[in-house]
Structure 1
């Protein structure tokens, strides 16, 4: 198999800490919390010393930029499992230093983009999260499927932290939607918690912001002419029940649904992004191009608007 690295990378510093070429094709993704709000350069820097005996394929810095530490063709030393690392792309994500090891919106958005890119280049149309160690590790993925695994299954660690662990169903659903695949599989239904349905996208946008401000990771889908605000995508209904209870305790009218469709884009307008670029929020040169592309924006359109505004 010919391996290619992600075009979303904005910084490369290859680590010597790896086992050479993989002995298994790529059919897993293992995201980690790096336990620090580090830049993508610093994440690679953690793995440059041979004495460290650790590495990862990719790092996502606190600003959302992505670095390459170990090429995809090689097995990194990341998840305390030779067998897992032989078949998994491992990703270290900037996070807080203590449980639940929360990650900011830029890191999570880049994780979605990077996982989508990894799946696409490896011919996958579905990213699966089972939420169960035995089920996941004993599952034989179909040729178009990728499976999420986590470090805590192989070592006495919290990694990737409870913040990301609670969102892995959402990560799988969003990546699968980006790939144009089905968010359900023969392994069962995905349960989502819904907190609003609106004819007006402006009203849906307001509710989305309200739910996010309350500390919940949420997203918007469009079904039957309505914009619906949902939280999570769980294979176990009990997990959806727990999330619904939390949302209700926070004052939201919530219920469980199995309805979903392609996520609705919540990207800002080209004009808004261009003004942020002028303000300096998106860096310069190749860094700007990579960050805008990773976030889902067309670089040429944004740059043209910047040139227009600057006259």
Structure 2
């Protein structure tokens, strides 16, 4: 096929680090975290020396600017897997230096646009995130499907970081919508994930097309909930600790930034206030998303706090 490069590119600095033209058509996209809030120019600069023995097809700087480092027709050296790099467009994205390696809104928005453009130019109408290594690597995409893969599946790395990893379902949905397709009911689509909380991707017990199967998984793992692809809780399974109890008792809070929420769970909004360190009276306990030991209602009426960060007196 005739390969092209994205018109969204505003800076080009081609790396000598690649294996020449691909031996497989493009049917994967692999986003990475650069581990540094770099500019697009700096990302390209990381791969100009042959001694670096690494590269990527595109880089997205901290301001959302997109750079071309290796043309799409060529296989980059990016994923610790020659088989993956032969069929994937690889994208390095500027991120924080530390866990969960968060990215700016500008980076994420550009990633959505770039993935949409890559899919469109390669004749794809859907971008799929299957949420599981074995399922993904054994899946044969249809001619109009593109699949997301991640570096951590091929090497002992956290790449692309938990911040982006937890948003790959959202990325796939946004790109598919922009392409005018629908991920609902597609052979490889995954709608429901079972985790302790949305941001803790490593706690994931499974990803399911069928909500009932996801609920069964959550029920068999105390403290777990079912999340849709946007990270919203759609079902809370059995919780360890008290399901619901009343009766006042005192707790000691030893952290300064314990959030107070409007209800018993991380699926409820924050009030914008913190408890600070001290002793507080709890009048009611309920199980809820994001806390192993349940949520306590403050006597003051300010809201609910996670009892994971409290010592009962």
Would the TM-score normalized by the shorter structure come out above 0.5? yes
In 2 relative to 1, CA 50–153 (structure 1 residues): closer, same or farther, beyond 3 Å?
same
Distance 1:73 1:175 in 2: 22
Contact 2:176 2:183 (8 Å CA) reproduced: yes
Matched, 1:88 2:88: yes
In 2 relative to 1, CA 135–92 (structure 1 residues): closer, same or farther, beyond 3 Å?
same
The 5 A counterparts of 1:20-169 are 20-169=20-169
Contact 1:31 1:92 (8 Å CA) reproduced: yes
Distance 2:104 2:144 in 1: 30
Contact 1:131 1:235 (8 Å CA) reproduced: no
- Cα deviation, residue 187, structure 1: 3.1
Distance 2:232 2:99 in 1: 18
More strand per residue = 2
In 2 relative to 1, CA 25–116 (structure 1 residues): closer, same or farther, beyond 3 Å?
same
Match of residue 186 from structure 1 = 187
Match of residue 14 from structure 1 = 14
- Cα deviation, residue 243, structure 1: 5.0
Distance 2:156 2:136 in 1: 18
Q: What is the CA deviation profile of residues 61-80 of structure 1, one whole-angstrom value per residue up to 9, with x for unaligned ones?
A: 00000000000000000000
- Cα deviation, residue 246, structure 1: 2.8
Distance 1:189 1:17 in 2: 35
RMSD: 2.3
Q: What is the CA deviation profile of residues 161-203 of structure 1, one whole-angstrom value per residue up to 9, with x for unaligned ones?
A: 00000000000000000000012212356249xxxxxxxxxxx
Contact 1:129 1:169 (8 Å CA) reproduced: yes
Distance 2:144 2:99 in 1: 34
- Cα deviation, residue 235, structure 1: 4.7
Distance 1:15 1:154 in 2: 22
Distance 2:74 2:6 in 1: 14
Candidates 247, 266, 285, aligned match of 2:267: 247
Match of residue 289 from structure 1 = none
The 5 A counterparts of 1:211-290 are 235=208, 237=214, 238-240=225-227, 243-244=232-233, 245-248=265-268, 250=270
Alignment TM-score, normalising by the size of structure 2: 0.65
Q: Which one has a bigger Cα radius of gyration?
A: 2
More helix per residue = 1
In 2 relative to 1, CA 58–44 (structure 1 residues): closer, same or farther, beyond 3 Å?
same
* Matched residues, number: 214
- Structure 2: stretches of 5+ with no match in the other structure: 200-206, 215-224, 234-264, 272-313
Alignment TM-score, normalising by the size of structure 1: 0.65
Distance 1:2 1:74 in 2: 12
